[in-house]
Structure 1
Amino acid sequence: MDPSTLTNLAEPLSAHPLFKTQDIDDARHRVAGKFCAHDLTPGPQHRRFEARHNHVAGQSLSLNYLSYGCEVAINPGELDRFYLIQLPLAGTAAVRNGKAEVAAGVGQASVLNPTRDTCMTWHQGCRKLLMQVDRAALHRLAEDLLGRPLGEAVLFDPHVDLRRPGLQRWQKSLFAAISLAQNGAAFGTQMHPHQARLEEELILGFLTHQPSSISHSLQQGAHTGQDLLPSFQLRRAVDYIRSNLAEPLTLAGIASEARCSLRSLQLGFKAHFNCTPMQYLTRERLNHAHYLLQSLPSDHRVNAVAFDAGFSHLGRFSIAYRAAFGQSPRETLRQGGPA
Structure 2
Amino acid sequence: MTHLQTNDLEEVQSVVAGIYCAHSVLTSGGASADAAGLDLIRRAPQPVVKLHYGRSVRIDAGTFPRLMLMQTCLDGSGAAEQGSLRAELRRGQTVPLSPGLATRLAFDSRFAQQSVRLDIERVEALCSSWLNVPALDRPLRFDLNPFSAALEQAWSQAVGLIVSYARSGLLLPASAIANLDEFIVSLVLSQHPHNYSDDLRRPQKGLPPRLVREAERLMRDGELHQTPSKIAAELGVSLRTLELGFRAVHDCSPSEFLRRVRVAKARETLLAPKATTSVTEVALANGFLHLARFSAYYREVFGESPVHTLRRSQPRGTLAMAVG
Letter in 1 for 2:139: A
- Work out which of the residue numbers 170, 174, 192 in structure 1 matches 2:159: 174
The question of 1:160 aligning with 2:136 is answered no
- Work out which of the residue numbers 306, 315, 320 in structure 1 matches 2:291: 315
Q: Where does residue 22 of structure 1 map in the other structure?
A: 7
Letter in 2 for 1:228: G
Is residue 89–residue 128 contact of structure 1 (8 Å, CA) maintained in 2?
A: yes
Q: Secondary structure at the match of 1:48?
A: coil
Q: Secondary structure at the match of 1:53?
A: strand
Is residue 298–residue 333 contact of structure 1 (8 Å, CA) maintained in 2?
A: no
The 3 A distance-change label for structure 1 pair 136 and 322 is same
- Work out which of the residue numbers 23, 26, 38 in structure 2 matches 1:41: 26
**Identity over aligned pairs, percent:** 27
TM score, norm. by length of structure 2: 0.85
User: How far is the alpha carbon of 1:156 from its aligned partner?
Assistant: 0.7
Range that drifts further, 270-279 or 314-323: 314-323
**In structure 2, distance between residues paired with 1:70 and 1:231:** 60
User: How far is the alpha carbon of 1:302 from its aligned partner?
Assistant: 4.2
**In structure 1, distance between residues paired with 2:285 and 2:19:** 37
Is residue 279–residue 306 contact of structure 2 (8 Å, CA) maintained in 1?
A: no
- Work out which of the residue numbers 279, 302, 307 in structure 2 matches 1:303: 279
Q: Where does residue 36 of structure 2 map in the other structure?
A: 51
Q: Where does residue 181 of structure 2 map in the other structure?
A: 199
TM score, norm. by length of structure 1: 0.82
Match runs of 1:268-279 below 5 Å: 268-279=245-256
Is residue 175–residue 286 contact of structure 2 (8 Å, CA) maintained in 1?
A: no
The 3 A distance-change label for structure 1 pair 312 and 210 is closer
The 3 A distance-change label for structure 1 pair 298 and 30 is closer
The 3 A distance-change label for structure 1 pair 273 and 45 is farther
Q: Secondary structure at the match of 1:47?
A: coil
The question of 1:93 aligning with 2:93 is answered no
User: How far is the alpha carbon of 1:107 from its aligned partner?
Assistant: 3.4
**In structure 2, distance between residues paired with 1:292 and 1:169:** 30
Is residue 27–residue 58 contact of structure 2 (8 Å, CA) maintained in 1?
A: yes
User: How far is the alpha carbon of 1:161 from its aligned partner?
Assistant: 2.3
The question of 1:261 aligning with 2:245 is answered no
The 3 A distance-change label for structure 1 pair 185 and 312 is farther
Q: Where does residue 229 of structure 2 map in the other structure?
A: 252
**In structure 2, distance between residues paired with 1:322 and 1:197:** 21
Q: Where does residue 241 of structure 1 map in the other structure?
A: 219
Match runs of 1:117-196 below 5 Å: 117-148=102-133, 149-163=135-149, 165-185=150-170, 193-196=175-178
The 3 A distance-change label for structure 1 pair 102 and 301 is same
Pairwise CA RMSD: 2.8
**In structure 2, distance between residues paired with 1:201 and 1:129:** 18
**In structure 2, distance between residues paired with 1:329 and 1:217:** 42
Q: Where does residue 99 of structure 2 map in the other structure?
A: 114
The 3 A distance-change label for structure 1 pair 307 and 297 is closer
Runs of 5+ in structure 1 lacking a partner? 1-15
Range that drifts further, 311-320 or 49-58: 311-320
**In structure 1, distance between residues paired with 2:206 and 2:104:** 42
User: How far is the alpha carbon of 1:238 from its aligned partner?
Assistant: 0.6
Aligned residues: 313
The question of 1:283 aligning with 2:260 is answered yes
**In structure 1, distance between residues paired with 2:217 and 2:59:** 51
Q: Secondary structure at the match of 1:161?
A: coil
Q: Where does residue 9 of structure 1 map in the other structure?
A: none
User: How far is the alpha carbon of 1:297 from its aligned partner?
Assistant: 7.5
Range that drifts further, 61-70 or 246-255: 246-255
Q: Secondary structure at the match of 1:46?
A: coil
**In structure 1, distance between residues paired with 2:92 and 2:205:** 34
- Work out which of the residue numbers 32, 37, 53 in structure 2 matches 1:68: 53
User: How far is the alpha carbon of 1:318 from its aligned partner?
Assistant: 3.0
- Work out which of the residue numbers 185, 192, 196 in structure 2 matches 1:214: 196
